[in-house]
Amino acid sequence: MRLLLTLIIMASPFLAASCNDQQSVPPSKPTFVFVHGTFADDYAWHLVKPKLEQAGYKVVSFNLPAHGNDQTPVSQANFDLYVNTVVNKINAISGKVVLLGHSMGGFVVTQVAEKIPAKIEKLVYLCAFLPKDGQTLYELASSDTESLIGPNLHPEENGLVASLPPNVLVQVFAIDASEEIQKVAAKTRPEPLAVFQAKASLTDANFGKIPKYYIKTLKDQGVGPALQQRMIDGYPGKIAKIYTMNTSHSPYWAKPDELVSILKEIN
């Protein structure tokens, strides 16, 4: 018995040190999954992504079908394909993610969250469409009197896609960005239109239980501030926190450092 007590006393400093070492290990930071919006692609995140990665976060971003260099035919680019693309990306990641959607990407991430709620830790809407059950993207966008997108759309390819004039693309997406970014924004691919007719199908049991954050942009001519506020008001008491940025529709280009600070605060 005396020998056992001696061994316990001798071992206790090592056990304490081991416990302290475990307690000192910082919790792992979440993985961000970024989903871009209309007339955009993975280039949207080229300023924000490395800043978050340098701060220790994992960031997953990609092109939605028929955007950027993705070669999906526009005839196949529909809402279900967008949603399944994001679902597959998230299911390949270990653990839960923080899912962020910009603009039209908000409509996509909303349906993704309904489909795989157990994989979503938080939802972040970056000047994004936040639908109610049964709403379409077209319904929300067509109610936006502040947006320059609808009045300037030019349908192409038998109505499968629509384009915007280069000057409007710059005005909406890059008016407060660098000249280099403005040149990129002006050459964006035409936007597939099938997604605008899809209806959101949402439940309180799935989408409704996930914490939501909204980042509102005050000079936005893509998704107007008034529409952003109406969508926020559609979820009274359900938005964990609302942030504001004094930018146009692409805060990731206009004020990347400020956006990164907000995302760090959310997580």
Domain assignments of the chain as residue spans, ordered by start: 27-266
215 burial type by CB count under 10 A (0-12 exposed, 13-18 middle, 19+ buried): buried
Q: Two tokens at 59?
A: 């960031």
Specify the pLDDT at position 29.
84
Residue 239 has a pLDDT of 98
Task: pLDDT band for 21, please (50, 70, 90 cuts).
Answer: very low
pLDDT in tens, 142-178: 999 999 999 999 999 888 999 999 999 999 999 999 9
pLDDT digits (tens, 9 = 90+) for 24-77: 445 678 899 999 999 999 999 999 999 999 999 999 999 999 999 999 999 999
pLDDT of residue 26: 54
Q: State residue 231's pLDDT score.
A: 98
Residue 11 has pLDDT above 60, yes or no: no
Instruction: Give residues with Cβ within 8 angstroms of 67, minimum separation 6.
Output: 36, 40, 41, 189
* % of the chain with per-residue pLDDT over 90: 87
Mean pLDDT of 186-213: 96
Q: Alpha-carbon torsion 73, 78, 81, 87, what sign? A: positive
Q: Is 145 helix (H, G, I), strand (E, B) or coil?
A: coil
Of 15-19, 34-38, 64-68, 137-141, the least confident: 15-19
> Do 166 and 237 contact (CB within 8 A), yes or no?
no
pLDDT of residue 16: 46
Question: For the chain, first and last CA: distance in Å?
Answer: 51
Q: What is the mean pLDDT of residues 217-228?
A: 98
Give the integer Cα–Cα distance in Å for 125 and 40: 16
**Residues contacting residue 185 through CB under 8 Å, at least 6 positions apart:** 39, 169, 170, 173, 174, 177, 250
Q: What's the pLDDT at 27?
A: 60
Query: What rounded mean pLDDT belongs to the chain?
Result: 92
Residues 6+ apart with CB under 8 A from 143: 227, 230
pLDDT of residue 10: 43
More confident: 19 or 160: 160
Query: Backbone phi, then psi, for 59, in 5-degree steps?
Result: -130, 130
Q: Quick one: how far is CA 85 from the chain centroid?
A: 14
β-strand partners of 182: none
Classify domain 27-266 by CATH architecture. 3-Layer(aba) Sandwich (3.40)
The two three-digit tokens of residue 101, written as one number: 């959607």
Residue 210: name the closest of 106, 112, 122 by CA: 122
pLDDT tens-digit series, residues 236-257: 999 999 999 999 999 999 999 9
Q: Write the burial class of residue 201 (CB in 10 Å: 0-12 exposed, 13-18 middle, 19+ buried).
A: middle
Give whole-number Cα distances, 265 to 32, 142, 171, 243, in Å.
Answer: 13, 33, 30, 11
DSSP symbol at 207: G
For the cut 70, the answer to whether the pLDDT of residue 88 exceeds it is yes
Contact 155, 191 (CB under 8 A): no
245 contacts: CB under 8 Å, gap ≥ 6 = 215, 216, 217, 218, 251, 254, 255, 258, 259, 262
Percentage of the chain exceeding pLDDT 70: 90
